[in-house]
Amino acid sequence: MGSFSHTWLSSFLALSTWLSAGWVEQTPAPTFTYTLHAQKEPHPWSLGEIPLPASTVLATAPEGALLVLIPQPEHKWVLKEIAGWYTDTPKERSLAIAGRAVGHDEEVWITGDLTVARDSRYALIRITTRRRSTRPEVFNVEAAVTTVDLNTFTVVDSRITTDPLIAGAQWSLTTDNVLVSNALKQHVRINDQSTSPVADSYQAAVLDLPDLKVSDACNYTKVLELHDGSGWQAKEEETASFKCAGVLKAAKVRTVNELPGENSTAKFARDLHAPPSCNIIKISDDGRFALYDCSEGHQAWDVLIITSRSLLVLSTASSASVLSVTLKPKQPTIATLVTMEGHQYLVVVRDGISIEAYRIP
């Protein structure tokens, strides 16, 4: 308790100093607002003012349309497309998506994600169910995958699969429209000691769009070991880069450590001077701006109660604040940075249906 309190107090004092320095501006009026024709994202109960992760998913098509995947009551999901959102005449299209109820508890965790092809032809939607197995640290993973033709806005393929490269994998789309998958297939502790080394077996692959057939694949392992003073460290097998040469070339990376699953955004943000209680969300396509989710709070027993939240946009060149938008602590909210007609925008979706866009100065 004492260590936690000291850490939290240090972060709070640092944030207070940062705020008093005048870095955060008042929330400006949005340049665009729109309410989608759907029901709000379900908002489960939580203790105090603890914000729960939003289940709605926000993405942008290369030509600028917004795509919003929203969980709905009765185990339903809906995909919304908003074209011309930056104009006076936005156009909304809607498509029902098969899936399961959203949410998570001790036994089941259900999430959605959305991948948009670089040529704007297809969107891949995964509704992933992770169910705890007989082993406490292991989940059985299943995904309902839907392929949407964005030109006609219709479903062209739908399947349910337990294939690790599809259901449980981390995905990344390269700049030339190659979908790279990286899946943790097995997690084995050497012995029953909590500090014993852990051997992780991975499979990486290149998946063709839109059918998700494997065009190249490899297997490799990593061993996690606990080192005194430096914590857990992972080391890949010496032949991993050789065995995965084809996948690495397609993914445009040098080692298996750069395959999907590693947070490249967080690595980029290490050189930026954001407040300690801010978590990075996104780097703009041109690299000029970084988007953060920031929060303040106080400790009640063993729980940190969030009292205020905001979105913060920093200049990557100077770490100066250029835009701040206030959030309600418990309201499900997602956001991203979008470039449209030469201008940068912060796009915010509240409750899964209320869209706001703020032009970045």
Q: Tell me the pLDDT band of 67, cut-offs 50, 70 and 90.
A: very high
Pairing status of strand 76-83 against strand 354-359: unpaired
Matching residue, tokens 């899946």: 183
Q: What is the pLDDT of residue 300?
A: 72
Rounded average pLDDT over 245-258: 92
Q: What is the pLDDT of residue 109?
A: 80
Q: Tell me the pLDDT band of 89, cut-offs 50, 70 and 90.
A: very high
Rounded average pLDDT over 308-319: 92
Q: Convert the pLDDT of each residue in 148-200 to its tens digit.
A: 999 999 999 999 999 999 998 999 998 889 999 999 888 777 766 666 777 88
- Residue 316 is encoded by which pair of tokens? 């990557």
Three-class DSSP labels, 338-361: EEECCEEEEEEEECCCEEEEEECC
Give the global pTM.
0.83
Enumerate the domain spans of the chain. Answer: 2-169+260-359, 175-259
Q: What is the pLDDT of residue 120?
A: 85
* Dist CA 356 CA 191 (whole Å): 52
Which amino acid is residue 62, in one-letter code?
Answer: P
Q: Which of 62, 67, 72 is nearest to 125 (CA)?
A: 67
Q: Convert the pLDDT of each residue in 104-133 to its tens digit.
A: 455 778 889 999 998 889 999 999 988 877
Q: Convert the pLDDT of each residue in 26-45 to its tens digit.
A: 679 999 999 999 999 976 65
Q: Which of 138, 122, 132, 236 is nearest to 179 (CA)?
A: 122
Core vs surface per residue 29-60: b (16+ CB within 10 A) or e? ebebebebebbbbbeeeeeebebeebbbbbbb
Residues in contact with 260: Cβ distance below 8 Å, sequence separation at least 6, in sequence order: 169, 170, 171, 172, 180, 181, 182
Exposure of 245 in the CB half-sphere (CA atoms within 13 A): 4
Q: What is the pLDDT of residue 98?
A: 77
For residue 162, give Cα distances in angstroms to 83, 131, 168, 330. 34, 12, 8, 33
